[in-house]
Amino acid sequence: MADYQPSGSDPDSQSNDTNILYSLVIPVYLNEASIPSLLQIIEGLQEDLGNPLEVIFVIDGSPDRSNELLLEKLPRQSFGSRILLLSRNFGSFAAIRAGLSRCSGRFIAVMAADLQEPISLIHDMYSALCSGECDVVVGVREARDDPALARLASEAFWAVYRRFVLSEIPPGGVDVFGCNEVFRDRLLTLEEAHSSLVAQIFWLGYRRKCVPYVRQRRQHGTSAWTLKKKIDYLMNSMFAFTDLPIRLLTLMGLLGLAFSFVLGAAAVTARLIGQINVPGYTATVCTVIFFGALNSFGLGVIGSYVWRTFENTKARPLNIIMEETIIR
C-alpha cells in the first residue's frame, strides 16, 4: 500500500524520490461521480506500466465532495499520490500547471478526470516518451463519441482556433498531453495569466509527436466546459498569441480611407452638378467618413505599438536551446 500524506502538511514541498518514472496530473472539478471508476482505471495503468507511478490530483475549487472522496480512498491504492487543494476555481490550465510543478517523475502525462480519454492513450504517451523520440506528446482526437450537436460545436470552435490563432494545432484540438522533465521545466517558465497552455506547448516547439485516440462519451455528470469558458479561452488565446485583431483594425482603417476618398469625390461631383442642394451636406459627409476611417487606422497603428509592448512584458525567451553538443 502506498504511503500517503495529506497535501496540507507541506504545500510547498516537492518529492525528491528519484525512483519515480511516471507522473500523472489530473485536474478535478465537479468529478465526484467519476472518482471510483477513475481510481480503478489508474490501478490498471499502474499494473501495466510495471514502474513506480505517482498521481497528482489537483482539486480546482470543486464545490462537490471530490476532495473528501480522494482523501478517503487514496490511502488504499497501490500507486503513490498527492492532492493539491486550490483555494478557488482557477481553471483547468492553472490547475494543470500546479500539478506539473509538483511532479517527481521523469515522464509526465496529463489526463481529465471525466474519463473521456481512454487510459490506453496515457500508456501510449508514456511509451512514446520513454522511446526518446520526442519531448512532448499531444493527444489528437480522430473521432468523438459525443452527441451530434456537441461534435459540431467542438469542430467549429477548433476550426476558428486553427484559422485565427494557431494553424499547427490538430483539427480536433488538444485536451491532454505528456512530456519529459526538460519540456515541463521550460513550460513552467512561461508564467502568463490569461493565456493558453495548449498554445504555449506548440509555441515552445521541441520534438513533438501526435497520438490519435477516440474521445469517449461522458458517463458521469455534465461538462463544466461552458460556452462562456470556450469564448474566454478563444479570446485569451487570440490576444496572447496573435495580433490579428490589430491588423484587422488597421486594414479596416485603410479600406475606410480609400472608400472615403471615393465617396467624397462622388459627393463633391454631385454637388457641382446640382444633384445635392442641401447646404453643408457634402462637407459633412466627407468629414465624417474621412475622420472615422482615419480614427480606425490610427487605433490600428497605436495598437501595433501596444502589442509590441505587451509582447515584451510577457518576457518569453527570445530563443530556446533544446540541446547542445560539444565536439572536441
HEC sequence for 131-175: CCCCCEEEEEEEEECCCHHHHHHHHHHHHHHHHHCCCCCCCCCEE
Cα separation, 129 vs 121, whole angstroms: 12
> What CA–CA distance (Å, rounded) separates 310 from 64?
38
For 277-289, what is each residue's pLDDT tens digit?
Answer: 767 766 777 777 7
Report pLDDT digits (tens) over 233-272: 777 767 777 777 777 777 877 887 787 778 777 777 877 7
Task: Please state, in angstroms and rounded to a whole number, the distance separating the CA atoms of residues 270 and 192.
Answer: 56
| pLDDT higher than 60, residue 9 | no
Please provide the average confidence, as pLDDT, over all residues in the chain.
78
- pLDDT bucket at 226, cuts 50 / 70 / 90: low
Q: Count, in order, helices (H) and strands (E) of the chain.
A: 10, 7
Cβ contacts of 258 within 8 Å, gap of 6 or more: none
Helix (H, G, I), strand (E, B) or coil at 65: coil
With pLDDT > 70 as the criterion, what percentage of the chain qualifies? 79
Which residue type, as a one-letter code, is found at position 167? S
Is residue 210 within 8 Å of 140, Cβ to Cβ? Answer: yes
Quick check: 300 pLDDT over 50? yes
Domain boundaries, the chain: 7-241, 244-313
Q: pLDDT digit string (tens) for 67-96?
A: 889 998 998 988 888 988 888 888 888 889
Looking at the DSSP assignment, which residues form a beta bridge with residue 215? 144
Whether 60 has a pLDDT exceeding 50, the answer reads yes
Instruction: For the chain, give percent helix, strand, coil, nearest 5.
Output: 50, 15, 35
123-157 pLDDT, tens digit per residue, is 999 999 999 889 999 988 876 666 677 677 777 77
Is the Cβ–Cβ distance between 141 and 214 less than 8 Å? yes
Judge whether residue 179 has pLDDT over 90. Answer: yes
Q: Cα separation of 110 and 174, whole Å?
A: 11
Cα 99–100–102 angle (5° rounding)? 70
How many other C-beta atoms are found inside a 10 Å radius of the C-beta of residue 149? 8
3-class secondary-structure state, position 324: coil
**Ordered strands of the 80-85 beta sheet:** 80-85, 53-59, 22-28, 107-110, 174-180, 136-144, 208-215
Q: Which fold has domain 7-241?
A: Spore Coat Polysaccharide Biosynthesis Protein SpsA; Chain A (3.90.550)
pLDDT of residue 12 exceeding 60: no
Q: Which pLDDT does position 152 carry in this prediction?
A: 76
At residue 207, the pLDDT reads 92
Other CB atoms within a 10 A radius of the CB of residue 200 amount to 19
